[in-house]
Amino acid sequence: MGRQHWKKIWVGSAGNMVEWFDWFVYASFATYFAGAFFPSGNPTAQLMNTAGIFAVGFFMRPVGGWLLGRVGDRKGRKAALTLTVTLMSASAILIAVAPTYAVAGYGGALVLLVARLLQGLSVGGEYAASATYLTEASDPRRRGFASSFQYVSMTAGQIVGLGLLIILQRTMSDGALHGYGWRIPFVVGALGAAVVFYLRRSMLETEVYEEDTSHAEERGTLRALWRHRREAFLVVALTMGGTVAYYTYTTYLTKYLSNSAGLSKQTATLVSFTALIVFACLQPLAGALSDRIGRRPLLITFAVGSTVLTVPIMTLLKHAGGYWPALGLALLALVVVTGYTSINACVKAELFPTGVRALGVALPYAVANALFGGTAEYVALWFKKAGIESGFYWYVAGCAAVSLVAYVAMRETRDLDLARVRDRTDSSLTTAS
């Protein structure tokens, strides 16, 4: 892979890392600030309130997917990526200065809600813009490898967030963390976003986008996307199982280990931190494998593994009792999830023509995340509060089973030429295979 390709991948990935650092530290630090914005009482109820606001952010993602996907297709991938990081920086600042319940009552929770809405708007466009950019900027023979860096950077953002949490846990008292320490990562995120804004202003546009000859007025429109509604529904179906599994074993894992398995917050955080480092290293390996054997084998392996193994893994995790058993089970789960995360970005981008690629990835993916990924933690806590926590395990397995059907039915996309993916007309849809 040439130097120019690596430069594009680096700039795209660095920004993605900061975006997802800001997105995930909300979940990672929720156990410390849950009591700051809501009345004291049941800890699980407080977590459900913060998880509910976390989920609300996901429901802004379809709006962000539509708005920023449209920008990406009409103004360029660079323009969309610059706008997303600006919105994320603003949201991080809002959370950092949000007043607590003791100071402003539910006013603090309202500020938190507005910040999450901005984050949802930003991330709704960030995923598609970076997925499209990384896929288009890479060598056609190594798209799986190059696009895998999206989840490397996403996971790196979470690793940095958890690493910061571990440092703060070891250098600050528990009272200080609950009092003001949880604000520190949001300040760090805002500063990081400012650096990324500077980097993205000088990034190079992809050649595939610059050479696109589709009609300018049709780019990034819902009308153009409707002509590819079959692919859009496919994105929803193939995302469903993957996003639920991913958020279960990343953002929710730390809470599950401390709130259900009985591990200390420090041990639970260390398990997640270590597992995510290994997980990030697996992404390029699996992406490169997909360039050799195709995308569908990896997706099918993930779906079968998640359908069969979720219930036993989650059951055993609840009774892990210590760091090493919990780490082993978490790694097993994340190895399975790698079959989805390593290549889902390029698979979705490969389904659409250039003029609607960013919107085609953004909107249906954001819808699927709003319905399944963003609600995973809330659904898990609802099952726990209802006294039937094991019901959540079956829910995750069931979502994977639905995606398995989509993986088996979909076409292989590895060898498609991105510049030649055809733009369907309304009449051709009736005869397309």
Q: Using one digit for the tens of pLDDT, what is the confidence trace for 314-323? A: 999 999 989 9
* The pLDDT value given to residue 193: 87
H helices present in 294-368, as ranges: 296-318, 323-341, 344-349, 357-368
* The pLDDT value given to residue 428: 36
Tell whether the model's pLDDT for residue 369 goes beyond 50: yes
Interval 223-249 mean pLDDT? 95
Rg from Cα positions in the chain: 21
- Chain position carrying tokens 């849950």: 34
- What CA–CA distance (Å, rounded) separates 194 from 18? 10
* The pLDDT value given to residue 425: 47
Q: Which residue has the higher pLDDT, 101 or 46?
A: 101
- Chain position carrying tokens 């805002």: 190
Instruction: Please provide the size of the chain in residues.
Output: 433
Given a contact cutoff of 8 angstroms between Cβ atoms, the answer to whether 185 and 164 are in contact is: yes
What is the pLDDT of the chain when averaged over all its residues?
Answer: 87
Record the tokens describing residue 337, joined without a space. 């999830």
Given a contact cutoff of 8 angstroms between Cβ atoms, the answer to whether 311 and 349 are in contact is: no
Percentage of the chain exceeding pLDDT 90 = 48
User: Which amino acid would we find at residue 83?
Assistant: L
- What CA–CA distance (Å, rounded) separates 11 from 344? 20
Given a contact cutoff of 8 angstroms between Cβ atoms, the answer to whether 77 and 126 are in contact is: no
CA distances, 27 to each of 94, 116, 274 (Å) = 16, 11, 17
Q: Using one digit for the tens of pLDDT, what is the confidence trace for 132-152? A: 998 888 888 889 999 899 899
- DSSP per residue over 40-102, as a string? SS-HHHHHHHHHHHHHHHHHTHHHHHHHHHHHHHHT-HHHHHHHHHHHHHHHHHHHHHPPPHH
Question: Residue 206: which pLDDT band, with cuts at 50, 70 and 90?
Answer: confident
* The pLDDT value given to residue 433: 29
Tell whether the model's pLDDT for residue 400 goes beyond 90: yes
Given a contact cutoff of 8 angstroms between Cβ atoms, the answer to whether 406 and 237 are in contact is: yes
Record the tokens describing residue 278, joined without a space. 């290994």
Percentage of the chain exceeding pLDDT 70 = 92
Interval 73-92 mean pLDDT? 89
* The pLDDT value given to residue 295: 97
